[in-house]
Structure formats: C-alpha cells, structure tokens
C-alpha cells in the first residue's frame, strides 16, 4: 500500500475520534469552540506563542505516537484539568464543517463522470413518473423533491456499498426513505427490473400491466420492498432493533457473524418524530457498529424549514454525539476546499456556523451576487477569499450531500468504524435541480407538475439526450442495453452481489405438527384454578423445550415478565445480553434468579412497547430478511399495545410479519381500581381493522392451545402472511376440558361450548361470549334456566 494511502487510513481513525475530530482544523486559530461550533475570542493574557507551542507538541505527538496515544493524552489532560478545578465547557458540537477534511478523503474508486450520467438519468425518470402520473390523473400525488435532494446519497450507496443478499452472504439491509421511492423505482427501471409500463402506472397499480405502489410497501410489492418506511419515524427505530436482532441471532448461534450493515435513510424533518431518536442510546449501548443512519439534511420538511431559526444539523450532532454515536458531517462539497484552504484564519468556518437554516435556505434560491453580498460580505477578509470567483461559481458551490466524493468518504468511514453506530448528517438541497420549479422553495415538497420551460431547463441541466420538443412529453428514457451507462450500472451491482431492494422468502417451512406439545392443554386444569395467562406461560415453557421450534421462539417482554408470572423463564431461558452478565445478581441464590447471558433467549426490552414491537417485527420477518423462522411471542399490558403503538402494528402487518402478540391483563376485570388507562375493553376494536391480523379473545386454556398450534402451522409451515393477537386475563378459574372436537369452531371464531340440558322448553335463547364475559354468560345460562325456564345454549 503506498505510503500516502496508509497515512490516509491511519488518519481517518483520528477523524472518527470525538476528541480530535474537526477541532484540529481550527485549533490553530487560537480561539475556543462554543456549543454551536462558532468561535469566541481568546481571553486576554493568552500568549499566541504559548498556544503555538502546545499545538506543535500535539502535532509532534500525533506524528510520533499516532492518534491513539494523542487521544489518551488529551483525555488525561481533560481529567487533569477537571481535577484542577477548571470548568471545561461542554462541547457536544464540532464546528459547522465536514468531519472528514479534504486531506483525509480516500480516492473515489468509481468513474465519477459515468456515475453522474447514470444518476442524471435516474433523476429524469423519477421526475417523469411523477409528472406523467399527474398529467393522466390530476392530483394523484407522488414526490419529486425528496429524491432530487437524496440522489447522490443513494447512488453512492448503490454503486459502492449496498451488498445484495446472496446464498453465500446475508447482505446489507436498507431502509429507504419512503418519499424517495420514485428514485428507487427509476433506478430499478434502468437496471431492467421494472418495466416502463409499471413506471407509467405509478400509483395506479390496478391498471393493465400493473403499477407501482406510492411508497415502500412489502404487502403491495412483496418481491421488491422489504420495509415499509413511509410512516415517518418508524424506520429509524425499527432499524436499530433490526441491527440488534442481527446480533441476537449471532450470539445465539442461529446465524454466523458477518459484517453486514443496516442502513437507514431518513429525512431531517422526520427526526422530530419521537420514535426517530427514541432508541438511539440502545444502539450505542449495544455498540451496534453494524448500523448506519444517513440523515438527508435538506433543512426542509413539508411546510417549510425544519429549523428556520436554528441549525438542525448541529442539533442532531449534539443529540447523537451525546448518545455516544460516531457522527460524520458532510456539509460542504469539493468546490469549497480551495477556499477553505486559503482561509488560514478560520474565518470561513466561523461564518458557516453563524447562519441559521432559514438564511441558508435563502442562499439556495438567490443569485451568486446575493451569496457574495450576504454570506461572504460579512467580513472584507471573507470577500477577499472569493474574489477570484465569478458570481456564477458562487452559486454553484456544491453542498456535501451532492458531492459523491464527500459522500463516499463518509460511507467508507462509517462502514469501517468499530464499536459504535454511525450517523451521517449530509447537507443537501430539497428539490435539487428543479430550479424555478421548486429548488429550495417552501412549496417544493408538493411539486408534481412542471411546465415546458422548467422541463427543458431540468433536461439541460442534467444532460438528458432529448430535444426541446420531445422533452416536454416527459418520456421515460433508458439508454440501450449495450450503452456504457447500463453496462456500468449492471457491473457495479454484479460486483455487489445483485440488486437492491429485493425481498424474498428465504426460510424453509417447518414440519410444525405439534400435537404432542399442545395436547396436554386440551384436558383442562382438573379443578385447579389458573388464569389464561398462566396457561399461556405453561405453553411457552413447553414450546421453549421443543426440539423443532424451541430454539426459534423469541419471548419478548417490556419489563412485565413478573406481571405475567414468567420470571421462572429468566433462569431457564436466560435474558439476552450482548455482554453476558458482568455482575452477580442479588437473587443469585434463588431458583428464579435474574440471569443475563450472551446466549439468553428472552428479549427483556425494558419499558418500551415501541422497542419491543420493533424486536417483534425484526424476529417475525426474519424468515425473509435472514431466512430464519424465528417465532416471536411479545406479551405486554394490553392497554399499552394498540392504543400506544398501533402504527408499528400496521407496519408489522404491511411487512408480512409473523408471530404472536399477547395482550395481558385484558378484560376490564381485576384492574378496575387502576382507572381506565389500565382497563382494556377496547384493544380488540383496535385490532379489528388490521386485515392480516387474527385477533382472539379466548377464555380457556384449550382455546389458546388450539389457536397457537394452528397459528404456527399456518405461518411457519404453510407460509401464510398473517399474525396473531391473543388477549390473556389474570382471573384464576378452573380450566374446563375441550368439549369435543370444537377446534374448527375455535379457529373460525365461534363454537357451542355448552348446550342447555332442558330440551323441552319452548323458551329458547342463544348466549354469546368470549374472554372475560364468557363465564358471565355461563352463569346467565344457569339463571335463565333455573329462574325463568329459558333454555339457553
């Protein structure tokens, strides 16, 4: 390896290190960073020469002993300073600059010009499908500006990073931002995977020849999309638990350890959803270096700026750094590098940190002269820096997220980073390339129609080979199969194992005839009073010991195992912990001690139904994602299910997730003193609309046994894309034996439990019940018979 390259690699470690990242850049300016990355003047009495000496000794240390030693020394200095009573300011932020400076950038390995041309074609086709669809059907919708801003972020991934799933390698997992779907379709069109007819029928899937769903929906396009992402905020959280579940499978020996990555692409506006950032500390705690977030920071959401009066990038940087993530900012494109180089006083970085996002957005829509006056004009020295550049060049200073070299450098650093998840904060322009039709404008998110002139401008800007007349028809454009563009695109994907996204069911069906396992529960409890929850836990315990399905069961609890009498499983199944158990649990001398283990089977998620549900989704879709038939059983307080995390349940349904949701303490009975928030009488109403969810409200143990046994068969043997919701209660009573062969009725939702013994009565009635009310119905049967002579079945 050439010396220069090695230096690059070694130094890139420096950049991944919080202590030195970015600070190197500006330290020579002898001023201190504030929280938002702007500079403040140094206090009086500080000798410039002295500062210089300190900095030089750090440089020489770095040179002689490397970044790790330098980091250690700085850490010790920081500790020493604290002990000596120096109150160091908290700096969650680095300056408003690229985390990876120009001199540490790796060489771009692709053909940049060719990749630009391919990207331009994808841009065109993505725009064409939305514009055409809206010409045919006014207001059919679709989005142009999200992909326009994210194109480089995706294309660098497609050409250099996203590895497909193959029989030999599990592949990378990619969560695409929902509104960027047109761009992903447009790429698949160039790849020859989606026909022009289908592009034409974007959002009109029932047209002859089929169409394409508006957004990523595995239900609607089961061979293409893997993850539904358009309900914003869900995919960041789901991806974190997906990355964690991958480690769980490895630690339990269900799959080999690989370096496969989980990529999640999100919008900056999307980060306002509480779910987006709600689990980021889990990712760092679990050292999920298989996880990479890419936040497309176009500074805009649907209505306008995300933080007009602030800086969303700096805000996110401090949140993620505070949570222990590796943060890589990709803010400025290569055109800025020579200017930054000329800026020996660090004035430019200081200026970059001063603007609020609303001002940055304004710079996007204004002329080069405006940029000169309002951005560089704040200081004559800044003006001098850009004096040689004409106005047009100032307008075309690219942002980092539109520069493949900068994006490549960030992705490479991210995949190589060890020990922490990485977030890439990439600055882009919403509606990039749309010009007057919406680039950087507040209305851009909704832009679906372009006039003739706007189409021609876009065509010219991206060099699409269509003349003025043809281009206003917005035809789809795919170069010939043997063109260098198509050849290159195919070769890149071949090198990365195939096409992405692509969904396939990769697991083998189970035998799944578990008569022996469930039979015992058909007999009733022989007078012993048990609750349906206890009966279920008994089944779970037995399933965990089963030779076929035992190891595939994934019990999930949000800090409620004791509530449901599951604590005996702590010791027998173990609670999963990626680090095992570093302490001796207080109850180690008891039979049911709190056992954490690296190969533990239970996912004890703590108090997060959303996180537990994300684990449920990861485990219940592993039959496709990993080719492993894991069977999740997620038990929770039924009131904290549908009404709290129903959107995740919808996502699970869309994703064809399999498994069992168990709503405990259902039925508005024993918890009446705890107020309506604990009394579930409505979760079945909320479960009803989910089309592929089978919801049951059983009263007896045998019913649960029949439902679970049949559920495992339907989902894991027959491969049906359904999942189950079963409510459980905690009133103990004697479980009756199954009254004859009523299995079919149980599964279909109704059977005759007990007929009236009075066959002669003219007064007859039918009583219906399930769950808690069923036993009241049985009492009513007696009362009606004894008191009123009514024979009720």
Ligand X SMILES: Cc1ncc(C[n+]2csc(CCOP(=O)(O)OP(=O)(O)O)c2C)c(N)n1
Q: Which of residues 144-163 bind ligand X (CB under 6 A)?
A: 146, 149
Per CB under 5 A, the segment of 226-234, 265-273, 396-404, 513-521 that binds Mg ion is 265-273
Nearer residue to ligand X within complex by CB, 181 or 695 = 181
End-to-end CA distance of the chain: 84
Per CB under 5 A, the segment of 4-12, 294-302, 479-487, 563-571 that binds Mg ion is 294-302
| Tokens 């049967």 -> residue | 781
The contact mask relative to ligand X for 602-621 (x = CB under 6 A, - = no) is: --------------------
The contact mask relative to ligand X for 401-430 (x = CB under 6 A, - = no) is: -----------------------------x
Paired tokens of 644? 């709290």
Nearer residue to ligand X within complex by CB, 233 or 663 = 233
540 binds ligand X (CB under 6 A): no
Nearer residue to ligand X within complex by CB, 232 or 569 = 232
428: DSSP letter: -
Q: Which of residues 233-252 bind ligand X (CB under 6 A)?
A: 233
The C-alpha angle with vertex 154 and arms to 149 and 160, in degrees rounded to 5, equals 145
Q: Would you say 201 and 212 are in contact if contact means Cβ atoms under 8 Å apart?
A: yes
CA pair distance 139, 494, nearest whole angstrom: 38
CA pair distance 717, 505, nearest whole angstrom: 13
Packing angle of the helix pair 404-416, 112-136 (nearest 10 deg) = 100
Nearer residue to ligand X within complex by CB, 299 or 348 = 299
Nearest-Å Rg of the Cα atoms of the chain is 30
* Residue 90: strand, helix, or coil: coil
Among 37, 182, 267, 433, binds ligand X (CB under 6 A): 267
One-letter-per-residue 3-state SS of 625-644? HCCCCCEEEEEEEHHHCHHH
Ramachandran sector of residue 92 (left: φ over 0; alpha: ψ -120 to 50; beta: rest): alpha
Per CB under 6 A, the segment of 46-54, 262-270, 463-471, 502-510 that binds ligand X is 262-270
- Cβ within 8 Å of residue 356, ≥6 positions away: 307, 308, 309, 310, 311
Q: Would you say 371 and 361 are in contact if contact means Cβ atoms under 8 Å apart?
A: no
Among 172, 268, 560, 703, binds Mg ion (CB under 5 A): 268
Q: Which of residues 141-170 bind Mg ion (CB under 5 A)?
A: none
Paired tokens of 767? 């009583």
CB of 666 to Mg ion, least distance (A): 41
CB of 773 to Mg ion, least distance (A): 49
CA pair distance 52, 510, nearest whole angstrom: 69
Per CB under 6 A, the segment of 102-110, 164-172, 226-234, 781-789 that binds ligand X is 226-234
Per CB under 5 A, the segment of 9-17, 214-222, 290-298, 666-674 that binds Mg ion is 290-298
Nearer residue to ligand X within complex by CB, 98 or 235 = 235
CB of 211 to ligand X, least distance (A): 20
12 binds ligand X (CB under 6 A): no
Among 186, 230, 340, 517, binds ligand X (CB under 6 A): 230
Per CB under 6 A, the segment of 81-89, 225-233, 515-523, 759-767 that binds ligand X is 225-233
The contact mask relative to ligand X for 433-472 (x = CB under 6 A, - = no) is: ------------x---------------------------
267 binds Mg ion (CB under 5 A): yes
Among 268, 286, 315, 596, binds ligand X (CB under 6 A): 268
CB of 149 to Mg ion, least distance (A): 7
- Picked from ligand X, Mg ion, none, the partner binding residue 232 (CB below 5 to 8 A depending on kind) is ligand X
Chain-centroid distance, C-alpha 559: 23
Q: Which of residues 285-344 bind ligand X (CB under 6 A)?
A: 296, 298, 300-302, 306
CB of 442 to ligand X, least distance (A): 11
Q: Would you say 620 and 632 are in contact if contact means Cβ atoms under 8 Å apart?
A: yes
| Tokens 């599990």 -> residue | 170
Per CB under 5 A, the segment of 261-269, 746-754, 763-771, 782-790 that binds Mg ion is 261-269
Q: Would you say 554 and 662 are in contact if contact means Cβ atoms under 8 Å apart?
A: no
Q: How many residues form the binding site for Mg ion (CB under 5 A)?
A: 5
232 binds ligand X (CB under 6 A): yes
Distances (CA, A) of 431 to 233, 269, 300, 424: 22, 15, 10, 20
179 binds ligand X (CB under 6 A): yes
* Residue 255: strand, helix, or coil: coil
Half-sphere exposure of 430 (CA within 13 A, CB side): 30
Nearer residue to Mg ion within complex by CB, 299 or 726 = 299
CA pair distance 68, 147, nearest whole angstrom: 40
CB of 271 to ligand X, least distance (A): 7
- By beta-carbon distance, which residue lies closest to ligand X? 267
Per CB under 6 A, the segment of 100-108, 227-235, 247-255, 331-339 that binds ligand X is 227-235
CB of 153 to ligand X, least distance (A): 10
Nearer residue to ligand X within complex by CB, 122 or 464 = 122
CB of 87 to ligand X, least distance (A): 37
Q: Would you say 424 and 294 are in contact if contact means Cβ atoms under 8 Å apart?
A: yes
Per CB under 6 A, the segment of 161-169, 263-271, 334-342, 450-458 that binds ligand X is 263-271
Of 203, 75, 231, 64, nearest to 140 (Cα)?
203
Q: How many residues form the binding site for ligand X (CB under 6 A)?
A: 19
Concatenate the DSSP letters of all residues of 205-233 into one string.
Answer: TTSTT--B-SS--TTT-TTT------STT
- Picked from ligand X, Mg ion, none, the partner binding residue 74 (CB below 5 to 8 A depending on kind) is none
- Picked from Mg ion, ligand X, none, the partner binding residue 127 (CB below 5 to 8 A depending on kind) is none
Concatenate the DSSP letters of all residues of 589-656 into one string.
Answer: TSTT---EETT--BEE--S-HHHHHHHHHHHHTHHHHTS---EEEEEEEGGGSHHHHHHHHHHHHHTT
Concatenate the DSSP letters of all residues of 703-718 into one string.
Answer: HHHHHHHHHHIIIIIS
512: DSSP letter: -
Among 22, 178, 236, 269, binds Mg ion (CB under 5 A): 269
CA pair distance 781, 155, nearest whole angstrom: 68
Phi, psi torsion values for 663, nearest 5 degrees: -90, 100
Residues that bind Mg ion (CB under 5 A): 267-269, 298, 300
Residues that bind ligand X (CB under 6 A): 146, 149, 179, 230-233, 267-270, 296, 298, 300-302, 306, 430, 445
């Amino acid at each position: 390896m050439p010396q220069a390259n090695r230096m690059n690699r070694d130094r890139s470690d420096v950049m991944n290190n919080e202590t030195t990242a970015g600070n190197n850049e500006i330290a020579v300016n002898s001023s201190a960073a504030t929280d938002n990355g702007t500079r403040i003047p140094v206090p009086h009495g500080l000798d410039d020469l002295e500062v210089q000496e300190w900095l030089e000794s750090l440089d020489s240390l770095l040179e002689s002993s490397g970044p790790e030693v330098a980091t250690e020394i700085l850490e010790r200095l920081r500790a020493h300073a604290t002990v000596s009573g120096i109150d160091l300011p908290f700096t969650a932020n680095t300056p408003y600059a690229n985390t990876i400076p120009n001199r540490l950038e790796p060489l771009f390995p692709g053909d940049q010009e060719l990749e630009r041309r391919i990207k331009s074609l994808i841009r065109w086709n993505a725009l064409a499908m939305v514009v055409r669809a809206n010409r045919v059907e006014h207001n059919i919708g679709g989005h142009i500006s999200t992909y326009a801003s994210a194109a480089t972020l995706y294309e660098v991934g497609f050409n250099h990073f996203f590895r497909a799933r193959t029989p030999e390698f599990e592949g990378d997992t990619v969560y695409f931002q929902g509104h960027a779907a047109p761009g992903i379709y447009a790429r698949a069109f160039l790849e020859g995977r989606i026909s022009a007819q289908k592009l034409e029928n974007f959002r009109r899937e029932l047209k002859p020849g089929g169409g394409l769903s508006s957004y990523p929906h595995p239900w609607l396009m089961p061979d293409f999309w893997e993850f539904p992402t358009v309900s914003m905020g869900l995919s960041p959280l789901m991806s974190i638990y997906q990355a964690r579940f991958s480690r769980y499978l490895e630690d339990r020996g269900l799959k080999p350890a690989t370096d496969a990555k989980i990529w999640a692409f999100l919008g900056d506006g999307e980060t306002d959803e509480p779910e987006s950032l709600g689990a980021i500390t889990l990712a760092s705690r679990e050292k999920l270096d298989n996880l990479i977030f890419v936040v497309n920071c176009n500074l805009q959401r649907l209505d306008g700026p995300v933080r007009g009066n602030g800086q969303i990038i700096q805000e996110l940087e401090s949140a993620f750094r505070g949570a222990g993530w590796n943060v890589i900012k990709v803010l400025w494109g290569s055109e800025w590098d020579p200017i930054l180089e000329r800026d020996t006083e660090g004035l430019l970085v200081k200026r970059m940190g001063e603007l609020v996002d609303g001002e940055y957005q304004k710079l996007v829509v204004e002329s080069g002269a405006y940029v000169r006056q309002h951005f560089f004009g704040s200081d004559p020295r800044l003006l001098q820096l850009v004096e040689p550049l004409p106005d047009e060049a100032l307008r075309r200073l690219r942002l980092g997220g539109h520069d493949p070299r900068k994006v490549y450098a960030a992705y490479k650093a991210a995949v190589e980073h060890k020990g922490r998840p990485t977030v890439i904060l990439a600055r882009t322009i919403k509606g990039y390339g749309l010009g007057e039709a919406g680039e950087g404008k507040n209305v851009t998110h909704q832009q679906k129609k372009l006039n003739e002139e706007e189409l021609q401008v876009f065509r010219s800007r991206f060099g699409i080979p269509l003349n003025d007349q043809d281009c206003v028809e917005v035809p789809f454009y795919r170069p010939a199969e043997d063109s260098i563009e198509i050849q290159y695109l195919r070769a890149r994907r071949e090198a990365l194992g195939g096409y992405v996204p692509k969904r396939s069911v990769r697991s083998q069906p189970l035998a799944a005839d578990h008569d022996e396992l469930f039979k015992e529960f058909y007999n009733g409890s022989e007078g012993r009073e048990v609750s349906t929850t206890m009966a279920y836990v008994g089944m779970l315990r037995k399933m965990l010991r089963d030779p076929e399905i035992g190891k595939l069961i994934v019990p999930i609890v949000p800090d409620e195992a004791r509530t449901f009498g599951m604590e005996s499983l702590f010791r027998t199944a173990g609670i999963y912990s990626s680090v095992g158990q570093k302490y001796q649990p207080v109850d180690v001398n008891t039979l049911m001690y709190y056992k954490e283990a690296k190969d533990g089977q239970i996912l004890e998620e703590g108090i997060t139904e959303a996180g537990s549900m994300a684990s449920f989704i990861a485990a219940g879709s592993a039959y496709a994602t990993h080719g492993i038939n894991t069977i999740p059983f997620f038990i929770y307080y039924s009131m904290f299910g549908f009404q709290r995390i129903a959107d995740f349940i919808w996502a699970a349904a869309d994703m064809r997730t399999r498994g069992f949701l168990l709503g405990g303490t259902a039925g508005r009975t024993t918890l009446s003193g705890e107020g309506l928030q604990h009394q579930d009488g409505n979760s079945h109403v909320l479960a009803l609309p989910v089309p592929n969810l089978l919801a049951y409200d059983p009263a007896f143990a045998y019913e649960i046994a029949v439902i679970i046994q049949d559920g495992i068969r339907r989902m894991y043997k027959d491969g049906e894309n359904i999942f189950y919701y079963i409510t459980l209660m905690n009133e103990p009573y004697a479980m009756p034996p199954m009254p004859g062969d009523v299995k079919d009725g149980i599964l279909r939702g109704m059977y005759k439990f007990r007929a009236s013994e009075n066959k002669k009565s003219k007064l007859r009635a039918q009583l219906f019940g399930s769950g808690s009310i069923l036993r009241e119905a049985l009492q009513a049967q007696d009362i009606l018979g004894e008191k009123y002579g009514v024979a009720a079945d």
